[in-house]
Amino acid sequence: MSDAEILTLVDRLERCLLGKTEFHHRDHLAVAVTYLYAADFSAALERMRATLLRFSSHHGVSNLYHETLTRFWMSEAEKRLDRRLCLRESVAQIQAALGDKELPYMYYRRETIRSEQARKEFVGPDISS
């Protein structure tokens, strides 16, 4: 993806111009990197939360947002983010490093991730590495 394509994706997501099946894991990571480039972790997380809640509300899917997974992926992206790179290079690097959607299960039991509590509020990892 070029920088322009990444910024267009962010804009389309924020304005709810994407269909609910058009926004995938790699896209989440691209948006996360963009938000982390623009702000500190706390502000980037809040922006991601607000964007995803607006997107899910727009599509009438109340159970789409997951606080624990959102914070997990944002944190993993922040740990690996190299702000010396241009946006597209950082996005490509993060997508390559975090492309496996099963990664949270190295830190969380499936039952924990599936729980209503983890969906609504952050729950810390429950598997020791």
In a domain, 129, yes or no: no
In a domain, 47, yes or no: yes
In a domain, 73, yes or no: yes
In a domain, 124, yes or no: no
Contact (Cβ atoms closer than 8 angstroms) between residue 73 and residue 98: yes
pLDDT tens, N- to C-terminus, the chain (129 residues):
999 999 999 999 999 999 989 999 999 999 999 999 999 999 999 999 999 999 999 999 878 899 999 999 999 999 999 999 999 999 999 999 999 999 999 999 999 999 999 999 999 999 876
In a domain, 105, yes or no: no
Task: Say how many domains are in the chain.
Answer: 1
In a 13 Å sphere around the CA of 54, the CA atoms on its Cβ side amount to: 14
In a domain, 85, yes or no: yes
In a domain, 109, yes or no: no
In a domain, 18, yes or no: yes
Give residue 82's domain range: 3-99
